Amino acid sequence: MYFLILITWYQDLVKRNLSDSNSGMERIKPPSESDIDSLNLSDVWKEWKEAWELYWISSGLNEKDNAIQIATIQSILGTKARRVLKTLPNIPGNVTERTVEGILTALETAGLFCRVQVAG
């Protein structure tokens, strides 16, 4: 009888630990897909990047394997931004050679999210 209680206690403990280790990413909502069609791209980018960084840290994603981080950011960026990303010269063709910082820097330096000022 004591052995059965001990096994049940251990199974409950393992279940709790497993659910706690996955709870960060499950509870925290990732940022919305980036809106590269916005008329106010500069502000939209700043807000998206901030939301991404908060998600990246608070979900524990920053501690995950690089491949998981890359797959996540590229999924969240959305189809249109991924298409642009593929055309940038400073982005490795092989997804496993990319980094989160490299992706963010490439998108910023490409001018995709810069503010366009009209002379007037």
Q: Is the pLDDT of residue 6 over 50?
A: no
Residue 58 backbone class (left: φ over 0; alpha: ψ -120 to 50; beta: rest)? alpha
Top-confidence residue, 19 or 41: 41
Q: Which amino acid is at 114?
A: C
Q: What pTM, to 2 d.p., does this model score?
A: 0.69
Instruction: Give 75-99 pLDDT, tens digit per residue.
Output: 999 999 899 888 988 888 888 899 9
Q: Domains of the chain: which residue ranges? A: 29-109
Q: Say what the pLDDT of residue 12 is.
A: 60
Give how far Cα 85 sits from Cα of 47, 50, 73, Å.
19, 19, 12
Confidence of residue 1 (pLDDT cuts 50, 70, 90): low
Structure-block tokens of residue 119 = 């002379």
C-beta of residue 33 within 8 angstroms of C-beta of residue 78:
yes
Give 50's contacts (C-beta < 8 A, 6+ positions apart): none
- 109 confidence band (pLDDT: 50, 70, 90): confident
Q: How far apart are CA 84 and CA 82, in angstroms?
A: 5
pLDDT at 69 exceeding the cut of 90 = yes
Please compute the mean of the pLDDT values over residues 16-32 and round it to a whole number.
Answer: 64
